[in-house]
Amino acid sequence: MNFPGKTLFALALGASAVQAAEEMEEVIVTADFRQTELMRSAASVSVLGELQIEERGAQHLEDVLSAAPNVSWSTGASRSRFIQMRGVGDLEQYAEPKYYPAVGVVVDDLELGSAANAGMLFDVSQVEVLRGPQGTRYGASAHAGMVKINSNAPTDTFEAQLSGGAGNYGSYHYGAIISGPLGETVNGRISLQQNQGDGYMQNRALGRDDTNSYDEVTGRARLSWQPGANASYDFALFSFNSDNGYDAYSLDNDRYSWSDQPGDDAQDTLAFTVRGMWQLGNANTLQVVATHLDSDLYYSYDADWVSPELCARFTCSFGYDTAQEIFDRDRRQDTIDIRLLGGAETLVSGDLRYVLGFYANRNDEDLDYAYPSAWYGLYASASSYETERYALYGELEYGISDSLRFTGGMRVERFEDDYRDSNGVSEDNGENLYNGELSLQYSLSDNTFAYATLALASKPGGVNVAASSQYAFMSPAFQGFMRGNLRFEDETLFSRELGLKTRQLDNRLALRASLFYTTRDGAQLENWMWDEGAGLWIGYLDSNSDADAYGLELETTYDLGEAVQIFANVGWLETEVDTIRTFDLDAGDFVSKRDREQSKSPQYQYNVGVRALLPSGFSATVEAEGRDDSFYGYYHDGKLEAYDLVNASLSWSNGDLTVNLWGRNLGDEEYATHGLYFGADPRDEVGAFSNQSYYQLGAPRTYGLDLSWWL
């Protein structure tokens, strides 16, 4: 972005003038095999830098994702850790293992998978949002897209920062960073932060306002070593510990719950990454990346949502249950990625460069599940699930002319899984998956770049864990329906995309646009059924239907004078599922729904605003964001309503000290980020146990004051 005031904006938010100048000239995308300038990358990519993170007072990934077009997310937990892009993505997690969500989250080189609650933004340089399949590079880990969080690297000069902040709803955070040389060839960086808050719910049964609280500690340590001109090594340690509450739903769809056993959403993750890079002659580079992740994940909630206090105040049919649902996971992941990059540094006419690689991924998960209930007794099970992935991949780039180049990529994966549980269910599977990409890129001028890309991506099938485990307890009609759905098959996604990126009006206008059309064969769609006779919720992935989507993404900035910048990010999306068969709660029967929109697929999304430099070291930002309504499931026709929010910030800086006053959802609009549909309310006055829509609400008006001091 050629924004003359961007340097001062970055200074006002704690970045150095050098970093700001580099960002003003070019933003670098790191998620591909080779780093690429954003305006020359052959993909629909949003890059959210430190500026946007600081403007929003963002602590977690969920606080900034709404700035990227055609990106949605699901809560169903204390944090929004499941992401949908262009209508494709997982919605929630209960018993099902989800190592490979359709949209992956990566911290530097570490794949988080179902541990994505750890997507914290302290000491992060930028967030890259890549829409569309990234199959050649990431395989099944980025079936529909990828979010890559880049932490700040060690510096070769000493720097240190103290930061902190406080806001409404009892929120506060504090952290420290120290970075610099440890020797002539070694640099190091350590950062540590704690982030706490009471959450936005009040529990009437317990008289508490912190049952949906968050308490998160993030630690990062990075070491870079360059012993010579032809070799470099990087070591990273990542730690995340959270002790969050989970009490997010209300019988009246407000911020007052009646649960007497509020849940927990706790995570203890320790991971490390080792990267080595060696220069082999003038034209070849060998890269090796190895990672290890160990996560303890504990998730529970009050399954009946009520308490004796509620039924003492109101008349409750059948009294109340005391049910909880508890998921206690121990997950381990090991990966290694070895690749050789070679060929020319440039891609003018006749130049050729390539990538050859091998990838391996092993995941093991042990789950202890419990459902203690006064009405149904205690149901408990234990399971283990192991998966292995091995892949060979390659990419070839060729300069057809000085302005036109071709890229072709291929990835072949072998996927194997093995599931066992205490109910006697035993399943194993093996299949080959194929990912590929063909792309033409054309430089119309120094300021205008266009591309056309075809991409094929595959996502493995597997066992429907909960349904298989519950099968023996289901009513006969549900057993008959689920007999052919205890496994789901692999999904194939085919994407066609056209893109244009340009700078105009003396570089004051920057525009990125993409058109896409996607088809999904055997679309893996999350579905639920309520078996009243057995008292079971049956969750499963249905792969019996096809789906398609098409739409547009547009991102633009315009420098209006020397001190004002206008920005606009817009997404348009049309989706359709051919046919999905499910049990309709209101009809009390199995039905087929045809030509339905995909879940979490609003037809429009937008993020627009203005940044302005003010006198005496001040700067300000005002932005609006919103989206259309969207379905949140297939077993009903409930929707999340459309909404529009206003955010703003006012910052002051003298270069070393930064003060940032921020606010989100300043209009205090009530909106939902996730939904459920069933009979939960026992009160006679509302029609006891009648089917209703229940919503997990997004954050209300929040505001805070952040300070950072560079030493």
- By the 10 Å C-beta count (0-12 exposed, 13-18 middle, 19+ buried), 468 is classed as buried
Residue 102 has pLDDT above 80, yes or no: yes
Residue 586 has pLDDT above 90, yes or no: no
| Structural domains of the chain, count | 1
Q: Could you tell me the CA-to-CA distances from 198 to 167, 237, 252, 632, 687 in Å, in that order?
A: 11, 29, 21, 27, 32
Which tokens in the block code for residue 115? 């541990």
In the numeric block, the tokens 């012993």 are attached to 227
Q: Is residue 321 part of a domain?
A: yes
- Computed from CA positions of residues 677, 678, 679, 680, in that sequence, does the dihedral angle turn out positive or negative? negative
Asked if 658 and 13 count as a contact pair (C-beta separation under 8 A), the reply is yes
Task: Quote the CA–CA distance of 247 and 511 in Å, as a whole number.
Answer: 42
Tell how many helices (H) and how many strands (E) occur in the chain: 7, 40
Residue 11 has pLDDT above 70, yes or no: no
CATH code for position 474: 2.40.170.20
Task: Quote the CA–CA distance of 389 and 432 in Å, as a whole number.
Answer: 10
- Computed from CA positions of residues 555, 561, 562, 564, in that sequence, does the dihedral angle turn out positive or negative? negative
Q: What is the pLDDT of residues 466-486, one digit of tens each?
A: 888 888 889 999 999 999 899
Q: Is residue 154 part of a domain?
A: yes
With a pLDDT cut of 70, the percent of the chain lying above it is 96
- Computed from CA positions of residues 594, 598, 600, 601, in that sequence, does the dihedral angle turn out positive or negative? negative
Question: What are the DSSP calls for 592-646, one per residue?
Answer: EEEEEPPTT--SEEEEEEEEEE-STTEEEEEEEEEE--EE--SSS--EEPPEEEE
**pLDDT at site 25:** 53
Q: Is residue 1 part of a domain?
A: no
Residue 332 has pLDDT above 70, yes or no: yes
Average pLDDT score, the chain:
91
| Phi, psi dihedral angles at 249 (to 5 degrees) | -110, 145
Asked if 291 and 259 count as a contact pair (C-beta separation under 8 A), the reply is no
Q: Is residue 189 part of a domain?
A: yes
Q: Is residue 556 part of a domain?
A: yes
Q: Is residue 620 part of a domain?
A: yes
Q: What is the pLDDT of residues 596-632, one digit of tens each?
A: 999 999 999 999 999 999 999 999 999 999 999 999 8
Structural domain of 276: 6-379+388-710
Task: Quote the CA–CA distance of 321 and 373 in Å, as a whole number.
Answer: 7
Residues 6+ apart with CB under 8 A from 610: 564, 565, 566, 567, 621, 622, 623
Q: Could you tell me the CA-to-CA distances from 702 to 339, 645, 647 in Å, in that order?
A: 45, 12, 9
Per-residue confidence at 185, pLDDT binned at 50, 70, 90?
very high
Q: What is the pLDDT of residues 366-415, one digit of tens each?
A: 999 998 988 888 888 899 999 999 999 999 999 999 999 999 999 999 99
Which tokens in the block code for residue 168? 């409404």
Q: Is residue 479 part of a domain?
A: yes
Q: What is the pLDDT of residues 403-413, one digit of tens each?
A: 999 999 999 99
Rounded to two decimals, what is the model's pTM? 0.93
Task: Quote the CA–CA distance of 177 and 219 in Å, as a whole number.
Answer: 10
Task: Quote the CA–CA distance of 86 and 334 in Å, as a whole number.
Answer: 30
Q: What is the pLDDT of residues 672-699, one digit of tens each?
A: 999 989 888 999 888 888 999 999 999 9
Asked if 106 and 147 count as a contact pair (C-beta separation under 8 A), the reply is yes
What one-letter code names the amino acid at 160? Answer: A
CB atoms within 10 A of CB 561: 11
Task: Quote the CA–CA distance of 63 and 113 in Å, as a whole number.
Answer: 19
Per-residue confidence at 21, pLDDT binned at 50, 70, 90?
very low
Task: Quote the CA–CA distance of 576 and 207 in Å, as a whole number.
Answer: 45
**pLDDT at site 13:** 37
Task: Quote the CA–CA distance of 175 and 308 in Å, as a whole number.
Answer: 42
Rounded to 5°, the CA angle 299-304-305 comes to 80
Q: What is the pLDDT of residues 255-295, one digit of tens each?
A: 999 999 999 999 999 999 999 999 998 889 999 999 999 99
The conformation of residue 40, written as its DSSP 8-state character, comes to G
Q: Is residue 689 part of a domain?
A: yes
Per-residue confidence at 318, pLDDT binned at 50, 70, 90?
confident
